[in-house]
Structure 1
Amino acid sequence: MRRFLTVPLLMVSAAHPAGAQTTEDPAAVTLPPIVIERQGAGGEVIDSDGYVAKSSRTATKTDTPLMEVPQSISTITQQQLDDRNPQSLSDALNYTPGTRIGAYGFDPRYDAFFVRGFPATYNGIFRDGLRQYNSPSGIFRTEPYGLEGITILKGPASMLYGASNGGGLVDLITKRPTETALNEIEVQAGNHDRYQTNFDFSGPVTAKGDLLFRMTGLLRDSDTELAAVPDDRVYLAPALTWKPGDDTTLTLLGEFMDATTGGTAAYYNDANGITDYFGGDPRFNDFEQRQHRIGYEFEHRFDETFTVRQNFRYGHLDTKQQYVYITGREGDVFGRATGLGYEDVDTVVVDTQGQADFSTGPVRHTLLAGVDVGYVKYDQSSGFGLAPDLDAVTRNYGAQAIASPDASFSGGQKQWLTGVYLQDQLKLGGWSLTLGARQDWVSTETTSPDFTTGGRSTRDQSDHEFTGRAGLSYQTGFGLAPYVSYSTSFTPNVGTGPDGAAFKATTAEQKEIGVKFQVPNRNAMITASLFDIEQENGVFFEVVDGVNTEVQRGRLRSRGFELEGTATLDNGINLIASYAYTDLEIEEGAAGTTGKTLSSTPFHTASIWADYKVMSGFAEGFGLGAGVRYTGSSYGDDRNTIDNEARTLVDLAVHYDLDAVSPKLEGVRLQVNATNLLDETKVTCSSAYCYRDAGRTVIGSVRYRW
């Protein structure tokens, strides 16, 4: 049974925590070609030009132009990451329509976010097209500097990916070896005593370019706005690509990360809501995590028709989380207790695909068949003890030694997932039809303490589900591509309910219509979509006897509209603009919540980011970026009795490429990024527990790239 104390561990669950397209119509207008920058040397890559993505493998597992994809998709390109310099995955997503961050205020422990209203932390994160398995509090952390792009596929996608979030998935694209030399060194410094060094070296190893390498890494020593919460990190990501011929590619991808942050970042909530008393203590508040991953991507093309691929990854992480939490108050004295938790997680994922490109009469086919296998195993140990009282007047944080409690086994789980899938992409003139089906089988073995015998008890559970996707789009000769699609999802849930049994699988289905517009004669794209998602058997948090416990019940329905535009223009302007309306209704839930809106889900969100670089004249090389993010009001609990205020945040970037000053300084860039520049901080409540928003962050950097 997974039960988490309300204050320090409220976030340990998902609920918290290529070119212009033309038609074959001879009367159609031909759009001018657009140069596409390929950011990697094979494998799961994004083709883009500045801020505008052209194609990605995420939506179909084949190299498909985004204009042909009959589903809403957003892409964060390498240029966007460079300009905005995000420090977390949540930061990277904060200009994406339909993606909600900040529901739990300032908390660097996990990247907690929602896609189209549904929590995606556990079942919505993929790495290079493979699911990123996690455990209840053992969640793989993401270093944005190690990414060359991010693709967000909206809505159910289980037909290709099996277990995934009903609102959509986020595919993180790892930096890969480049065919030309790329070298970069950067130093950063920011408020809260933040110091970081980055490096990124890539290029060919051999003269003929059949062996490529990349080594990316960083070292960070940082405090945060909470004195008890550090943000320290060591990150190394080696990569190697071997290309023995034009038709064969093998890429090895590795990663090691050692990260330390706080065991809790929460403030104490009393009967009147949030207080200004920090719930933890700097003497006992570390959250240490080590993770490593190793995998490969193999592709071989036999001829113009047949191609095979296999992607594999093994991952491991172990955590040690220690924290203090307030148990109650009597007068000026707070009673406190301690918690200690360990988790050990091993995961294996492998996806084997065969692709055939052929024609039947006038119809062109891209047929894909695959077998997808995943495995996750985790063990938990935990312990609880007492901590010295906290004086409400003197606030004696850190003044007293705090003993660590003993930890013992508290649970574990093994889960196997096997899926077989078949997809066909059919093209006839400007029409594109995508059809796909998948069958998944899941086996879960849950182990928990048996307090009667003093040993362990094991429960087995089996699930299976059929999922599919059908989508139709039409590309006109003037850049417009309307589409319609239907897709379903199937999400086995890692973890157990109050009775100790494994959760049932969560299922969802989506109906979507939309339109994509590639602006003629401009490197710009606009997309709009209307969607309707229904989810069954979701996992929610419910406070039972003062303990925040995961329960499974109910039905949710998310309906909304999304609008997004991206552009990179010849005059030095880069632009992202978006708006989303999301109505997430609880159709069946806990007592008193049916017909209500799910907590911390704003109806309206909007954002705009623009970056301008002077291309000539006395200010050549100087650039300025600015962004505004609006989050509308929402409810702080599922019964809709608490209100969260709307908020508007401002971000800023200033950069200067010094090669405009002297050729000897070519490759040197000075940059300053400010997130939440105006230090606008309010309270956000989720599931009736309230958090303080993250404050202003300012980071200056000097980068040399050659």
Structure 2
Amino acid sequence: MTKAHGNGTKVSPWYAVLLVLTGATATAATDATATADTTAGYAIPAGSLSSALLRYSEQSGRKVVFSTDLVRGLDSRGLQGQFDSQQALRRLLSGSGLGYRATSTGSVTLERLAVNSSEPQPAADAIALDKMTVSAEAEESDPSDPYSEDYAVRRATAATKTDTPLMETPVSIQVVPWAVINDQKTPRIKDALENVSGVRPQPSLGQGNAFIIRGFSNRSRIYRNGLGLINGFGGSPGEFDTANLESIEVLKGPAAVLFGRIEPGGLINVTTKRPLDDPYYALEQQFGSYDYYRTLWDAGGPVTQDRSLLYRFSGAYQSNNSFRDFVSLDRVIVNPSVTWRIGDRTELTLNVEGFNQDFRADFGLPAIGKRPASIPISRSLDDPNTPQGNLSHALVGTDFVHRFNDDWAVRNRFLATFSSNESTFVNPAPAFGNALNENTGIMDRNIFFQEGSTEAYTTNLDLTGKFRLWETRHEVLVGFDFTRGFSEYHTQGNWIDPNPALAIDIFNPRASYGIPRAMYKETLATAVNAPLHYSVAKTEWYGLYFQDHITLWDKLHILGGGRYDWAENGRGRGSSFNAAEKALPSTIRKDEEFSPRVGILYQPWTWLSVYGNWTNSLGANNGISAGGAPQPPEISEQFEAGIKTELFDRRLTATFAFYHLTKENVLTQDLSAPDQNARIAIGEARSRGLELDVSGRITDSLSLIGSYAYTDTRVTRDHSGLQGKRLSNVPEHAGSLWLRYDVKEIAALDGLSFGLGTYLAGQRHGDPHNSFQLPGYVRLDAFAAYRWNIGPTRLTTQVNIRNLLDKTYYESTDPDSNVAPRLGVYPGAPLTVLGSLRLEY
């Protein structure tokens, strides 16, 4: 497929057309015919020509259009000093064999010189214009460009595992790019995903990456570069720091056809930073409320002159207290990666992530009656003497790709995960019962410890290809994946029987603070659930899948595919890890299932697509019954229809979707069982709703990302009294809008940006029985930044304010992981200020 651009030239989709959206005047053909322009200072470092042209456009205010193929492999010596824009462009192009021209259609383009000359001479038919406005389609920005400030993303691999544009993909997928993460200064993906419709956080002990998507929990199953991370008992990678992220993708609806075991609400895939072709270095220092300090670094570029070996090294160190008493965090993350271009069509990338976090567990606040207890949101019902917990993981991944030609390629990804997690806290006792006397405010407590570890391996092999068959174009995918995970989990202490000496008055807790260290030691020497306080869990999953994306008449797109899964899951328990492992084989459950997906999209104009899809999905349950039996697999089905559009010369993208989703064998906590991990299947639940997501740029100065979700959830079949209840922590109405304005009209203020963000959620039920509610809220955020060049570097100062109006609100409840929802309500942070200083060169 080819597309017409600016001057009518057809450009293959393998070539990106880069339009730099700054400036107002075109370069002329020669000095003699050109109109004089203003002299300006330039600070452009040596490097690739494409990067130099980007810097040139930013600093000169001129628009340039060129294909990446034209400048691929070309370098620039850079530019320092005072020049007019024509002199600057000629110097950048000197020795490249390229010239520049302005045509009667009003576009400025680069082209290869027709004469044997190293000077950037104009073409013979160049037209000198005194002044003109360049108008052309806005093209895709490079998501890996660390300087990119574009909120719009037009491609994402999570939808189809191919590079198909989102406008041609009949599913709903949203992307939060690095530009948004950087503007909002969000260290956790929880905060970044507030920009996506239908996504709600669901933390446990104040930590974790659990989310609710379209009403259903994803149970902390996050994907990284297309491969899933195993969720073990207390041992999964419980946090993702955004320091190493390029973007976050959210694929809505069941995604088992390509990814296997996944919750039906959707899939979250984080894309990590990759090695760079051009040198880039950044150092940032952040500081803010509650003794918040965070240092970030990012360095990358070629190791060899021919760019056959590239590197990237990013990371962060963070230390902070919290608005919650006794809660603190100390975290370090390092992310080295290397790409080896073995040949013109073959490359191998190795990436490593090391993460270590010391933290204080936090189970939140209790509810009284129908609302969270009326006590300060800063109040902790733990104890200042509680030992800190630790969360750590090491991830090792590879990505190998070989392109047979421009149409066919084979790709292999591999990910090894090694993680551990331990935490001690003074928790309500019984943790899943009536620990709080709501009349007196006295909460019974005891001391509890848990630790877990996970070792997991995931890999896949994909063959992709493009071909024509009569009047149809096909983009096919055939693949295989394999996942194996082994988790261990161990508890000590007592979370069932209260210790009278540890009772606390939630309205006046100070008298109960200061638990003797000896009491921790004495209590943790026992185990309430002996001899079943050791557990091992095993997961093995094989999958074969196929997909065909058929295009007819350049307007009709049909997506069809299916997957066959073989899954094994089990959990053994005993008085030791050896005893639990011996009990494991008798608990193994084996399941097989075929999951189809069909979608159709019609694109009557390039800026509008209408689509629909139907899909089934398999999700094996890791939960067990009180008797130790494995649970039957979850089965889900979704119907979805929607509209996608690109407006304002493709600078703004929007998706509007309606869906109807059902899920069978939904698990919930078995509150009648002595085992805190015992689950029961409540039957069937349904979620249906409307979603709107918008992101991109309306003008050269105004960017936005926004969302709205109407979500109607119900338990439609159940035998335990939940039928007709709404699913917990899911508001019927929720939305967000983040605006950024770049001041460009006033020369003296060039480099100034500021913005506002608003986030709202309606009333939500706090637990599966709908016994209490979290009130609705509206939160207002703001930021201001100023950027300026100092020689070859760019310096950015920024201030972010979260919860500008200092409103009290509650984000979610604990999902029955460590305490009952009525005992674990998580408040949102009050007014918080963050300042930052970022240096890039």
Aligned with residue 126 of structure 1, among 219, 223, 237: 223
Question: 8 Å contact 1:40–1:177 — kept in the other structure?
Answer: no
Q: Is the 8 A contact 1:668 1:704 kept in 2?
A: yes
Give the deviation of 1:486 after TM superposition. Answer: 0.7
1:173 alignment counterpart: 271
Residue in structure 2 matching 1:113, options 200, 211, 228: 211
Cα distance, 1:107 vs. partner? 5.4
Amino acid at match of 1:681: T
Pairing partner for 1:695 from 784, 804, 829:
829
Matches within 5 A, 1:575-594: 575-589=704-718, 591-594=720-723
Larger CA deviation: 578-587 vs 499-508: 499-508
Question: Which of 663-672 and 290-299 deviates more?
Answer: 663-672
Corresponding position of 1:284: 386
Contact 1:474-1:482 within 8 A present in 2 as well:
yes
Within 5 Å, which residues of 2 pair with 1:379-394? 379-385=488-494, 388-390=501-503, 392=505, 393=508, 394=510
1:634-659, CA deviations, whole angstroms, 9 ceiling, x for partnerless residues?
22333434333211011111111133
Shift of 1:108: 3.4
Once structures 1 and 2 are overlaid, which stretch shifts more, 620-629 or 283-292?
283-292
Deviation of 1:118 (Å): 0.6
C-alpha contact (below 8 Å) 2:227/2:458 kept by paired residues = yes
Return the match for 1:406 from 516, 519, 525: 525
Q: Which amino acid in structure 2 is aligned with residue 289 of structure 1?
A: L
Q: Deviations over 1:428-464 (max 9, x none)?
A: 121111110100001124211179x987523221111
In structure 1, C-alpha distance between the alignment counterparts of 2:805 and 2:785, rounded to whole Å? 19
Q: Does 1:682 align with 2:784?
A: no
Deviations 1:517-556 (A, max 9, x none): 1115241112111100010111112422687653223101
Higher helix share: 2
2:732–2:764: 8 Å Cα contact kept in structure 1?
yes
Partner of 1:650: 780
Give yes or no for contact 1:353–1:371 (8 Å, CA) kept in 2: yes
For residues 590 and 172 of structure 1, do their structure 2 counterparts lie closer, same or farther at Cα, with a shift above 3 Å needed? farther
Higher mean C-alpha displacement, 457-466 vs 528-537: 457-466
**Bigger relative CO (Cα 8 Å, ≥ 6 apart):** 1
Match of 2:596 among 456, 464, 468: 468
SS in 2 for 1:58: helix
> What TM-score do you get using the length of structure 2 for normalisation?
0.76
Structure 2 residue 753 is matched with structure 1 residue 626: no
CA contact (8 A) 2:626 2:675 kept: no
Contact 1:19-1:36 within 8 A present in 2 as well: no
Which letter does structure 1 place at the counterpart of 2:228?
Answer: R
Aligned residue in 1 for 2:800: 673
Q: Confirm or deny: 8 A CA contact 2:219 2:231 kept in the other structure.
A: no
Whichever residue aligns with residue 441 of structure 1, its letter is W
The equivalences for 1:487-566 within 5 A come to 487-519=615-647, 521-544=649-672, 549-566=678-695
| Gap change, CA 1:21 and 1:60, over 3 Å in 2 | farther
Q: Choose 650-659 or 435-444, whichever is displaced more.
A: 650-659
Distance 1:164 1:108 in 2: 23
Q: Which runs of 5+ in 2 are unaligned?
A: 11-134, 430-434, 528-532, 814-820
Task: Assess if the C-alpha contact under 8 Å between 1:556 and 1:588 holds in 2.
Answer: yes
Aligned to 1:258, the other structure's residue is in SS state strand
One of 35, 39, 61 as aligned partner of 2:139: 35
> Structure 1 483/233 Cα, relative in aligned 2: closer, same or farther at 3 Å?
same
CA-CA distance at 1:622 after TM superposition: 1.2
TM-score w.r.t. the length of structure 1 is 0.89
Correspondence list, 1:328-343, <5 A: 328=435, 335-343=444-452
174-183 or 516-525: bigger deviation: 516-525
Could you tell me which residue of structure 1 aligns to residue 583 of structure 2?
Answer: 457
Q: What is the CA distance between 1:146 and its match in structure 2?
A: 1.1
**Match runs of 1:76-475 below 5 Å:** 76-101=176-201, 108-123=206-221, 125-140=222-237, 141-268=239-366, 274-275=372-373, 276=375, 278-327=380-429, 328=435, 335-385=444-494, 388-390=501-503, 392=505, 393=508, 394-398=510-514, 400-401=516-517, 402-404=519-521, 405-406=524-525, 410-429=534-553, 430-449=555-574, 456-458=582-584, 459-475=587-603
Q: CA deviation at 1:690?
A: 5.0
Contact 1:36 1:49 in 2 (8 A): no
The alpha-carbon deviation at position 78 of structure 1 amounts to 1.3
CA distance in 2, matches of 1:344, 1:57: 30
Using the TM superposition, name which of 186-195 and 264-273 deviates more.
264-273
Residue 51 of structure 1 corresponds to 151
Over 3 Å counting, the alpha-carbon distance change for 1:644 and 1:149 in structure 2 is: same
CA RMSD of aligned residues (A): 2.7
Structure 2 SS opposite 1:403: helix
| Contact map agreement 2:570 2:622 (CA 8 A) in 1 | no
Q: Kindly indicate whether residue 609 of structure 2 is the aligned counterpart of residue 481 of structure 1.
A: yes
Contact 2:537 2:569 in 1 (8 A): yes
1:698–1:111 CA distance, 2 compared to 1 (3 A): farther
Q: Equivalent residue for 2:115?
A: none
1:558-599 C-alpha deviation (Å, 9 max, x unpaired): 110111211224522111122110001110235332122112
Larger Rg: 2
- Taking the aligned partners of 1:47 and 1:594, their CA distance within structure 2 comes to 51
For residue 38 of structure 1, report the CA deviation from its aligned partner.
2.5
- What does the per-residue CA deviation read over 1:71-96, in whole Å, with 9 as the maximum and x for residues that have no partner? 11111011111111112111010011
CA distance in structure 2 between the partners assigned to 1:340 and 1:284 by the alignment: 11
Identity of aligned residues (%): 27
- Say whether the 8 Å CA contact 1:48–1:55 is kept in structure 2: no
Q: 1:445 to 1:681 in 2, by over 3 A?
A: same
Q: Distance in 2 between matches of 1:685 and 1:391?
A: 23
How many Å separate the matches in 2 of 1:556 and 1:21?
A: 47
1:398 Cα deviation (Å)?
2.9
